[in-house]
A and B are shown apart, each in its own frame.
Chain A
Amino acid sequence: MRHIISILLENESGALSRVAGLFSARGYNIESLTVAPTEDPSLSRMTLVTSGTDKVVEQIKKQLNKLIDVVKLVDLVENEHVEREISLIKVRAAGNLRDEVNRMVEIFRGRIVDVTDTSYTIELTGSCDKIDAFLKAVPNDTIIEVVRSGVLGIARGEKGLRL
């Protein structure tokens, strides 16, 4: 099963490599990983998407907690949560294609953020599924480049992951 683990960790150099190193050393999957400082500059927030059996995911959480730099973590899929991914997608758009791509962007509620005579760059935000669906919907040979941020997530309700 897919899990989204949100981690609050010390904003120290090397903290990211401790997490990444743990996953490679113990053979765990990482589907995506994002990290950036929080409103408290001494802390970073990491969102990590992984998958595995319950036993494996339990071990992942325990091993992450064992890292000295990890302050707190939560598995977002255990409760109601919101998840988002942002993507920037560059597609070929000339002639008839321009209208078609435009329509598609509207349907998926994306935005065109850069235009040339022959291409559009689209910003699209949503669940991973939504971005996957968009990439399937545009003709495959029109895609020039895709950049995805990896998943960000936050729990629903007033409680927050903080110190």
Chain B
Amino acid sequence: MELTGADIVVKALADEGVEYIFGYPGGAALHIYDALYRQDTVKHILARHEQGAGHAADGYARSCGKPGVVLVTSGPGATNVVTPVATAHMDSIPLVVITAQVPSHLIGDDAFQEVDSIGITRPCVKHNFLVKDVRDLATTIKKAFYVATSGRPGPVVIDIPKDITAEKAEYIYPKSLSMRSYQPVTQGHSGQIRKAVQVLLAAKRPVIYTGGGIILSDCSDKLAELVRLLGYPCTNTLMGLGAYPADDPLFLGMLGMHGTYEANLAMHECDVMLCIGARFDDRVTGDTNKFSPYAKIIHVDIDPSSISKTISADIPVVGPAGVILEEMISQIKDSGRKPDAEAMQKWWHQIDGWRKIDCLDYDRESELIKPQFVVEKLYEVTKGDAFVTSDVGQHQMFAAQYYKFSKPRRWINSGGLGTMGFGLPAAMGVQLAHPDETVACVTGEGSIQMCLQELSTCKQYDLPLNIVNLNNRYLGMVRQWQEFFYDRRYSHSYMDALPDLVKLAEGYGHIGIRIEKPADVEGALKEALSDKSRLYFLDFITDQTENVYPMIAAGKGHHEMHLSPRNNGDDEERELA
């Protein structure tokens, strides 16, 4: 069957099982938009800005595991989608982003709305393709989905010149394909796994540290099985929250810069560290020279370039987390060996001592609304079962610390790139993927203004999001660093002309509520959550001076955490550099 390039694009997306495509039309994309108009299999979601479209597709992908699909026009359409592409790249999220391009004969002429989309996106994609012949179009789309979703996932950009979308070709969508230059690993090395298991079973002070890889490979059940089989403490990175149930006694909380006292000290003091699907990011390790000085490190990752990049692994294991976890579990069971019970008792005793510090304690009696209090209440009211997206800053850390995620894919945030403006559009994608679930966007008045226009998209598609705005009138994380490290010189971290966000929400056709007293927090949350048909914008006026604790300052190790003034720690541990 001969089809135009535009019809091939849309037909291929349908054959790939794509439910939603997030986009924004423009000149070079018009043939494709016309093809979309003539069918109803693939549903198009019209964002208000290409950045919103990209983050929405990303939120969709993170929450349901299927690749997110984006369609934008050439030039500014393509450049506006660069931030979402980079965001997805840093967090290994599968996206297929179609950027329309000016007609082939105009490429290189500085044509209207022309930009070198391939060149601009090259450093922040897993791969990108420029389609030069309509006969290659279907196969290229198949390749894009294959590359985006296999191995270590990531965003793939397909740049399609307008003339290609008008030309005709025979439509054959490949059922499967293999590429000689790209063959992701599907198995772990048995010998390496055996070595890892031996070291793991001989451990006296073990810790299991896992990241987004567990969530991406949908193997949190296997992680839980391994952790419980061994009885070892487990900590998750910011990207890995929800991989292991946060309310389980074996869970130490998040680790890293704003991780818990017990998680970070366990990392520092451990003799064996099993890292799965995490990459020893600088926000996790602190100063690498001071990192886990006594640990033998087992590093499981599907991407060989993640291994020994920042921290040298003693036992590297390359492969998919789920497959390797399964083999570890079966080897441990087959060995008939058990962990050293006496050593474990001592280790847990030590950990419980750290836990007693209660590093996440805060003033629950405050007359001002504490941001932590709002997140705790959100957790209670939603019974820990909501999908929570966030933007970037203090509110993101409070959400990560105080919302106890017990299921994977419930915590949606921009961990690697730290993209402000991510939360609202991402929540749209999450809600579309899970129409009957509760979706909350924990944000701040700084971040929300970066993609605020998407409130209009929410209205168009009736997305009943719950926006939990922790409004402290400051760019809180910037203010915190300025307080600690710049002698309280609050350079440009205060906004003295904020919009009335309640009226703004109403202007977009939603319901806005301002909450100024702690006693009103729970009621407002309940009101919003009980109404499944409307978007609620809850503007919580919070304590302006609250900081995120604990904190590991730049250049410090896990054992040099800065605790909240409320904690009775060793004085030295409160010193900041």
Contacts and interface: CB of A to CB of B under 8 A. Distances in A.
Task: Kindly name the residue among A17, A18, A66 whose own CB sees the greatest number of chain B CB atoms within 10 A.
Answer: A66
A59 B311 CA distance: 12
B285 to A, nearest CB: 16
Given A14-B118, A14-B130, A68 B181 contact: yes
B308 interface: yes
Contacts of A62: 304-305, 307
Question: What is the interface of chain A mostly: helix, strand, loop, or mixed?
Answer: helix
Task: Kindly name the residue among B122, B305, B307 whose own CB sees the greatest number of chain A CB atoms within 10 A.
Answer: B305
Nearest to B180: A71
Categorize the interface residue count of chain A. 20 to 34
A17 B556 CA distance: 38
B473 interface: no
Contacts of A17: 119, 122
A69 B182 CA distance: 8
Contacts of A21: 122-123
A111 B309 CA distance: 47
Given A14-B130, A59-B305, A63-B305, A70 B122 contact: no
Contact of A66 (B122, B130, B303): B303
Contacts of B303: 66
B127 interface: yes
A70 B128 CA distance: 14
Interface in B100-139: 118-119, 122-123, 126-128, 130
Interface in B328-356: none
A69 B308 CA distance: 23
Given A25-B123, A63-B305, A68 B118 contact: no
A13 B130 contact: yes
A13 B179 CA distance: 17
Given A59-B305, A62-B304, A63-B305, A18 B130 contact: no
A119 interface: no
A78 B207 CA distance: 37
B416 to A, nearest CB: 15
Task: Kindly name the residue among A13, A59, A70 whose own CB sees the greatest number of chain B CB atoms within 10 A.
Answer: A59
B212 to A, nearest CB: 17
Contacts of B85: none
A139 B128 CA distance: 50
A163 B180 contact: yes
Given A66-B303, A68-B127, A68-B179, A58 B122 contact: no
B442 interface: no
A136 interface: no
Contacts of A18: 122
A159 interface: no
A59 B180 CA distance: 22
Contact of A68 (B182, B307, B308, B309): B182
Interface in B144-179: 147, 179
Contacts of A69: 181
A59 B303 CA distance: 12
A114 to B, nearest CB: 35
A51 interface: no
Contacts of A65: 304-305
Interface string B175-191: 00001111000000000
Interface of B: 118-119, 122-123, 126-128, 130, 147, 179-182, 303-305, 307-309, 312
Given A17-B122, A66-B305, A68-B181, 7 more contacts: A14-B128, A25-B123, A55-B312, A62-B304, A63-B305, A65-B305, A68-B147
Interface of A: 9-10, 13-14, 17-18, 21, 25, 55, 58-59, 62-63, 65-66, 68-71, 163
11 contacts: A10-B181, A13-B130, A21-B123, A58-B308, A59-B305, A59-B309, A62-B305, A68-B126, A68-B127, A68-B179, A163-B180
A-B pairs with lowest CB-CB distance, top 6 = A62-B305, A68-B127, A71-B181, A68-B182, A25-B123, A62-B304
